[in-house]
Amino acid sequence: MLGRKANDAKDFDSPQRNSCRSGCQKNPFASLAAGWQKDKGGSPKDPLFSPKPGALIDEWPGFTLFTRTFCTCAECDKTTAFMAFDGLLISEIFYSLQGETSASGLPFIFIRMTGCNLRCSYCDSAYSFKGGEKRSIDETISLIQQWKCKQVLLTGGEPLMQRNTLALAKRLHDDGYVVSIETHGHAPINDYATFARIIMDVKTPGSKMNRDTWIKNLEFLKPSDELKFVITSAEDYEWARTQLREFRLADRCSVLFSPANHHKESPGSIQGFDPTVLAEKILEDQLPVRFQLQLHKLLWGAERRGV
């Protein structure tokens, strides 16, 4: 596997301009401060999301991790680093009805992981950006066994940012759980897509976190997976419709269009999109998508956690 090793945190914070392995002369480890300003992702001093000494760092163009922005040249491969902590950092674990996707209404166990490298304008789980409790995989499995349910969703934050998420997902699968993973698509899904149901939340321009990295994951999607577009405005709708047609997304898997609503803890402000207008536009354009509202918010309100 291609990569390089970080011997200590200074290796990533150095302002020295290092050329990437393809010789493009771009700095593969751009300044920590610049990355934080770009993504507003956590704290530049947060030790939990610092590269662990000796940890292997894969490479992928345009990929960002928490406080650091890496090389974006077309010649390079991905760059990923993982949490320094060896266990899991979990924001919350709860049992409720699935409020979204084609599984809406089914009882699910939710494992919300701490940390995300994006700050979407409409995010309704900003409390999971930091904090959380450290747990081992065994502790996590033991905790969820209190519920007689075999449907588990790993969400966040961004669950794929933690180094042990894959081990947790595999353990759940081996123990007979049906594993779903909600991800923003800016991290590789190939290791998960072989056994888990992927829900990829494609970031629209209105999210302020729109990038093209999700396109790299399309080849790994299977018919049982789902793509979700949260629509904040008429411009977002037009953009999402273009992606739907250009990449023939409905031929790959189910596609969901959902109207965005502002949450009091959201990192930014959004225009919002009337659900009725969105439904009418989907019908007018005869789009092969599923219109969805968030069932849990209709039942328990937009601000309540753990549902």
User: What is the tens place of the pLDDT at every residue in 209-237?
Assistant: 888 889 999 999 999 999 999 999 999 99
Q: Are 157 and 188 part of one and the same domain? A: yes
Residues 100 and 197 grouped into a single domain: yes
Would you list the DSSP string of 94-121?
EEEE--SSTTTTSEEEEEEES--S---T
Answer yes or no: are the C-beta atoms of 24 and 58 closer than 8 Å. Answer: no
pLDDT in tens, 109-142: 999 999 999 888 888 888 888 888 999 999 999 9
Same domain for 96 and 60, yes or no, is no
- Would you say residue 158 lies in a domain? yes
DSSP state for residue 52 in the 8-state scheme: P
Q: Which amino acid is it at 129?
A: F
Residues 242 and 193 in one domain: yes
Q: Does some domain include residue 198?
A: yes
Q: What is the span of the domain harbouring residue 290?
A: 88-300
Q: pLDDT tens, 69-124?
A: 333 333 333 333 344 456 899 999 999 999 899 999 999 999 999 999 988 888 88
- Count of Cβ atoms closer than 10 Å to residue 131 Cβ: 11
State the pTM of this model. Answer: 0.73
Q: How would you list the strands of the sheet with 197-202, edge to edge?
A: 133-135, 88-97, 107-113, 151-155, 178-183, 197-202, 226-231, 254-259, 290-291
Domain end, chosen from 40, 69, 98, is at: 69
- Provide the CATH number for the domain around residue 184: 3.20.20.70
